[in-house]
Amino acid sequence: MVHTDLAFVVLTVTGLAALVIGIRVTASGPPPMNVELYAVFAISCGATAVIAGGIGAPLIIGIARRDRAALALVNAHRPRALALPGAVSNHALLRSLRAQNPSAITPRSVVWAVDERGMELWQPGYSAPTLIVPWSTVVATSTAEMPQGRAVIAVAVFQLSDGHDLRLAFRNRFGGITLMSRGRLEDVLDDFTDLSDRVENGRN
């Protein structure tokens, strides 16, 4: 699996290296034709890679900062909860969240706090969760795939007692943007089921 956030770093580093090599070859004097073509190619590829990495790097830095801020809130208010990095990476996922809370302002990266009581959506700048999903409102869970641009992503589907389906995407790690695969999501949902079962067993 390719981690897109790491790819941006590799692009920037290799791009800078290609630029330096190409410029040094060009500046060292009139080279043979094949070397000159290589230098032009290195400069072109290097410039493209640096631009791509330069665009992606601020995105990753911003996500990492938001994750740290949201994690601090979770640790302060729900220290025993399992924190998971989530993503609101397309309009369909955003509509799914706003069906539960129309006033929720959700950035592309969010953090979920999960424990025996349910799930809470935490965002930087808020002293309380912007969405609460108790396990008592979850009828069933499953995984599905949905289009996102030219790609297809895996999402967790929570069938709620009010008849709505809450669709969520989770990221592989904090500070990253790569989404969980369907297989990993199924493992996560199994863990969620174990948590909700503890509540039912406690009631009985």
Measured distance CA(196)–CA(144) in Å, rounded: 21
Exposed/middle/buried for residue 85 (C-beta within 10 Å: 0-12, 13-18, 19+): buried
Nearest alpha carbon to residue 5 among 46, 48, 57, 66: 57
Q: Please list the residues that pair with 158 across neighbouring strands.
A: 141, 166
Q: Residue 198: is its pLDDT beyond 90? A: no
Question: Which of 18-22, 96-100, 179-183, 195-199 is least confident?
Answer: 18-22
Would strands 109-114 and 118-122 be described as parallel, antiparallel, or unpaired?
Answer: antiparallel
pLDDT in tens, 80-92: 899 999 988 788 8
Average pLDDT over residues 12-21: 56
Taking CA atoms, 118 is separated from 20, 35, 158, 197, in Å, by 53, 63, 12, 11
pLDDT at position 55: 54
Mean residue pLDDT of the chain comes to 77
Query: pTM here?
Result: 0.71
pLDDT at position 34: 46
pLDDT band, residue 177 (cuts 50/70/90): confident
Sequence-distant (6+) residues with CB within 8 A of 98 are 104, 106
Domain segments of the chain as ranges: 4-64, 81-203
Q: Is the dihedral of CA 34, 36, 42, 48 positive or negative?
A: negative
What is the CATH class of 81-203? Answer: mainly beta
The percent helix, strand, coil of the chain (3-state, each to 5) is 50, 25, 25
> DSSP string covering 35-97, please?
HHHHHHHHHHHHHHHHHHHHHHHHHHHHHHHHHHHHHHHHHHH-TTSEEEEEE--SHHHHHHH
Measured distance CA(166)–CA(40) in Å, rounded: 51
Average pLDDT over residues 136-164: 92
pLDDT in tens, 97-146: 888 888 776 667 789 999 989 999 998 888 889 899 999 999 999 999 99
Nearest alpha carbon to residue 11 among 19, 174, 24: 19
